[in-house]
């Protein structure tokens, strides 16, 4: 792995962090995917906005959102991202969602579990590459492992063939070397299922550390491990769970650039500009017979002076692919 530095913040104790930084968290190129169990999204929104303000991730998935249908998408909006959510109904807690960076072509896969509050699936379209499914899951601690595995909305048996998969989330199955019989039994059942679907689990460090325990319960699986160039765990102050992440060889097409026009103020002088405006025959505007002619004359007189002091220039900038594409289209 090559991620550096760890997520950090600068804040006096006690009190919440005032700044989070994820700049240059990994030197690997590709599609950057992360997951965090937030244990209630709404109180953590400000912290997540700081975390994602520089758009360090292409896809950021969340479990235990604790959202209700009465909470609208615009209330949980993060700048630069659109969201796909799956709320638990009729019971407090649970829920999964994914934030997708603007410009990433995607669509929700409602046929693969997005109807379940414990499963959220999106499909990333990539030219000359297999389609990539990013499947976020959450297994409540009180949910029987057999029920979770056999649930048609979370079952891996629904996985299409010839497709690349990143399966990640809070499974509440401890993969550390625990001596508890219950941990061993659930671990064995989960590994049997994932092995049968040829999935490799990539996270090998504890993701929930308390004063009394250290467990690895936030997991990340891939059926094309050779395409994962980086992966790891980063400890945040937002949640009692650590964040897990990976970088996948993306194949996502770069957005086309575009040409823009702007005024150059390189040689601009406010004093000279004002003096030239004073010399303009503005009375000619008042002599026009109709409003449209007056506006046209005023714009022409003003533009001539503006072009002389701040001429128009052209520049080519990096484009943003499909900024209008979000979950409302589907």
pLDDT computed for residue 16 by the predictor = 41
Task: Round to whole Å and give the CA distance between 230 and 234.
Answer: 13
| Residue among 12, 65, 17 nearest 237 (CA) | 17
Cα distance between residue 153 and residue 151, in whole Å: 5
Cβ atoms of 108 and 122 within 8 Å: the answer is yes
pLDDT at residue 250, as a whole number: 76
Query: What whole-number distance in Å separates Cα of residue 195 and Cα of residue 192?
Result: 5
Q: What are phi and psi of 172, to 5 degrees?
A: 50, 40
Residue 308's nearest CA partner among 273, 278, 275 is 273
Domains and CATH numbers, the chain: 8-252 (3.60.10.10), 265-310 (no CATH)
Measured between alpha carbons, how far apart are the two ends of the chain, in Å?
37
Q: Tokens standing for 69? A: 């249908």
Whole-number Å distance between alpha carbons of 288 and 298:
10
Residuewise pLDDT in 10s, the chain (330 residues): 333 333 433 333 434 433 344 555 666 788 999 999 999 999 999 999 999 988 889 999 999 999 998 999 999 999 999 999 999 888 888 999 999 999 899 999 888 765 566 889 999 987 777 889 999 999 888 887 766 766 655 556 556 667 899 999 999 999 987 766 667 888 888 888 888 878 999 999 999 998 888 999 999 999 999 999 999 999 888 999 999 999 998 766 555 667 888 899 999 999 999 999 999 999 999 999 899 999 999 999 999 999 999 999 988 876 555 554 444 444
Other CB atoms within 10 Å distance of the CB of residue 135: 26
Q: Which pLDDT belongs to residue 138? A: 93
Q: What is the pLDDT of residue 330?
A: 42
Residues 6 or more apart whose CB falls under 8 angstroms from that of 82 comprise 99, 100, 102, 325, 326, 327
Partners of 37 in the β-ladder = 63
């Amino acid at each position: 792995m090559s991620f550096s530095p760890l997520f950090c913040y600068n804040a006096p104790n006690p009190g919440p962090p005032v700044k989070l930084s994820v700049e240059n968290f990994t030197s690997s190129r590709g599609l950057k995917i992360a997951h965090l169990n937030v244990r209630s999204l709404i109180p953590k929104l400000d912290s997540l906005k700081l975390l994602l303000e520089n758009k360090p991730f292409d896809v950021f998935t969340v479990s235990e959102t604790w959202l209700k249908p009465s909470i609208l998408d615009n209330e949980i909006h993060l700048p630069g991202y659109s969201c796909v959510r799956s709320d638990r109904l009729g019971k407090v807690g649970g829920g999964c969602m994914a934030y997708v960076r603007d410009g990433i072509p995607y669509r929700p896969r409602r046929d693969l579990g997005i109807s379940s509050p414990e499963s959220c699936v999106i499909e990333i379209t990539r030219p000359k590459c297999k389609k990539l499914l990013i499947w976020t899951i959450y297994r409540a601690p009180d949910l029987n492992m057999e029920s979770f595995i056999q649930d048609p909305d979370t079952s891996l048996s629904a996985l299409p063939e010839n497709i690349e998969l990143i399966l990640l989330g809070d499974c509440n199955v401890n993969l550390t070397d625990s001596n508890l019989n219950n941990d061993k039994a659930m671990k064995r059942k989960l590994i049997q299922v994932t092995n049968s679907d040829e999935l490799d689990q990539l996270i090998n460090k504890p993701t929930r550390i308390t004063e009394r325990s250290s467990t690895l319960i936030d997991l990340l699986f891939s059926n094309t491990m050779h395409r994962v160039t980086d992966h790891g765990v980063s400890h945040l102050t937002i949640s009692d769970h650590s964040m897990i992440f990976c970088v996948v060889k993306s194949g996502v097409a770069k957005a086309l650039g575009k040409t823009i026009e702007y005024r150059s103020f390189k040689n601009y002088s406010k004093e000279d500009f004002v003096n030239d405006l004073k010399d303009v025959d503005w009375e000619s505007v008042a002599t026009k017979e109709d409003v449209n002619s007056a506006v046209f004359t005023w714009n022409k007189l003003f533009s001539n002076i503006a072009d002389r002091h701040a001429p128009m220039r052209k520049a080519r900038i990096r484009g943003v692919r499909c900024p209008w594409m979000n979950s409302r289209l589907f």
